[in-house]
Amino acid sequence: MSTAAKLPSNFDQQGDQSDEARVDAALRSFVSEFGVTTALHMESCVHCGLCAQACHFHVATGDPKYTPIRKLEPFHRTYLREASAFAPLFRAFGLVKKPSIVDLQQWQELLYDSCTMCGRCTLACPMGIDIAELVKEARHGMFKAGLVPDRLALMDRTARQWGSTATPGDDLPDILAEVAREHGVEIPCDLEAADMLVTAAPAELGEHTKALADAAKILNHIGVKWTMHQAGFDAANIGFNNGDLELQERLTRALIDTAVKIGAKTVLLPECGHAYGAARWEAAKWYRQALPVRILHMTEFLDELIETKQIRVNKISDTATFHDPCQIVRRGGLEAAARRVLAALGVELIELENHGLTGYCCGGGGGVVSNQRAAPLRNKVFEMKKLQVEATGAKRLITSCGQCLITLEMGAKNARWDKRPESLLELVADNLAD
């Protein structure tokens, strides 16, 4: 019996590689990531433990195995053996053990079930180690080894086949026509020329169509020439989350190249955190030059429309608290934009104890919300968020990320909590002044 066959059933693997081949594939990928920046991060840890108190999974469970720096152990060991200044000595004298298939299999939970790549640990690190980025790099090797949670691997295969985890591009016109009829809005599709290419998150093409319809309502209101396009429409980049670099590049290029093809100067992203990370901050590395289009998150778009008086909104005069999406705020820098939109809506904002750059993750980012076996951990994290929301006494809970919205809805249902999280986009659309 192979070593992998003896492992607990909650560890998943794909393909028919031997254990040795899986380890070799992972380590080759790890080594390919060891540039100057990664080396500096690897050499800088002083084991102070501050990252532990920053991690929502560690704080929620008290389990030391969820300390962020521990999530990098096989990655770090590979660095010491293969790329550090003393690598030849470490190998010759056996001072650092080579990661095994058992290490990698057990590590899967730490990388995919108990890390959302939210970056709160990065912010807390006094040495400036970008732990979230290192986790993302480590996931590249895990994907190469075929050691991704099955639910995420299924989504990866679907996106490779369809260009989306939601639907084949061929079905997009029919889906948009149905959403348009249901919500009474016009949604252009496959225009040969447009000023703006509008994209969606998978849930907006299924159970959460109101968000897509509300985006259309606002776009039609301002009179911009826009379109969705079956050649590039799904902005939620599963390759970014899984560590599938090839797919990540393909999905990003689908959006940008389609925009260029139709003459669009702007790609508008939905309320989706990882879409912002993949398209706004990582897209340029596929082109190795300045992008030919502007990448704009929905939060930025709403903020700009209000600032330039292209839209006016009615006051709702209510108390609310705001959940800051990690990839949009801490990793993306849009802390003030959402708050300006809330101010325009007349919301009395009551901040969470941890908010803005220091806000706790919803617990579902980085693919965790789609990884069903991580649900118990995710629910423990939700309890932290629930307590902070209740402590504000605010009547409403608002966020600007569809993935966060879904995660919070799932947490509320599990906890039998009666507060319904709301979308910033939908609030603006519902209160759009004539």
CATH number for the domain including 217?
Answer: 3.40.50.1860
Same domain for 94 and 195, yes or no, is: no
**Residues 62-74: tens digit of each pLDDT:** 999 999 989 999 9
Chain-centre distance for alpha carbon 431: 28
Same domain for 168 and 298, yes or no, is: yes
Same domain for 125 and 208, yes or no, is: no
Looking at the domain assignment, is residue 418 inside a domain?
Answer: yes
Res. 9: pLDDT tops 60: no
Distances (CA, A) of 153 to 75, 98, 157, 249: 21, 26, 6, 17
Looking at the domain assignment, is residue 4 inside a domain?
Answer: no
- Segments of 41-183 assigned E as strands: none
Which distant-in-sequence residues (6+ apart) come within 8 Å of 223 by Cβ? none
Looking at the domain assignment, is residue 218 inside a domain?
Answer: yes
CATH number for the domain harbouring residue 406: 3.40.50
- Note the helical H segments in 185-244: 209-222, 238-242
Stretch 377-401: mean pLDDT: 97
Res. 31: pLDDT tops 90: yes
Res. 348: pLDDT tops 80: yes
Domain end point (choices 276, 305, 334): 305
3-class SS letters over 147-173 = CCCHHHHHHHHHHHHHCCCCCCHHHHH
Looking at the domain assignment, is residue 157 inside a domain?
Answer: no
Same domain for 169 and 233, yes or no, is: yes
Same domain for 263 and 383, yes or no, is: no
Range of the domain at 326: 306-430
Same domain for 30 and 53, yes or no, is: yes
- From CA 303, how far away is CA 54, in angstroms rounded? 30
pLDDT of residue 128: 94
Same domain for 265 and 171, yes or no, is: yes
Residue 3: pLDDT band by 50, 70, 90 thresholds? very low
Looking at the domain assignment, is residue 255 inside a domain?
Answer: yes
Same domain for 28 and 52, yes or no, is: yes
Stretch 198-219: mean pLDDT: 96
Nearest-10 crossing angle of helices 73-82, 101-108: 140
CATH number for the domain harbouring residue 94: 1.10.1060
pLDDT of residue 98: 92
Tell me the average pLDDT of the chain.
95
pLDDT of residue 125: 95
User: Percentage of residues in the chain with pLDDT exceeding 70?
Assistant: 98
Same domain for 262 and 136, yes or no, is: no
Same domain for 285 and 368, yes or no, is: no
Same domain for 259 and 366, yes or no, is: no
pLDDT of residue 10: 63
pLDDT of residue 69: 87
β-sheet with 396-399: strand ranges across: 348-349, 319-323, 396-399, 421-423
DSSP strand pairing (226-227 vs 294-297): unpaired
Looking at the domain assignment, is residue 1 inside a domain?
Answer: no
Res. 4: pLDDT tops 60: no
What does pTM read for this prediction? 0.94
Residue 434: pLDDT band by 50, 70, 90 thresholds? confident
**Residues 75-101: tens digit of each pLDDT:** 999 999 999 999 999 999 999 999 999
Domain end point (choices 97, 113, 148): 148
Looking at the domain assignment, is residue 351 inside a domain?
Answer: yes
Res. 382: pLDDT tops 90: yes
Number of domains in the chain: 3
Res. 2: pLDDT tops 50: no
Same domain for 168 and 272, yes or no, is: yes
pLDDT of residue 5: 44
Residue 11: pLDDT band by 50, 70, 90 thresholds? confident
Looking at the domain assignment, is residue 154 inside a domain?
Answer: no
Domain end point (choices 116, 148, 180): 148
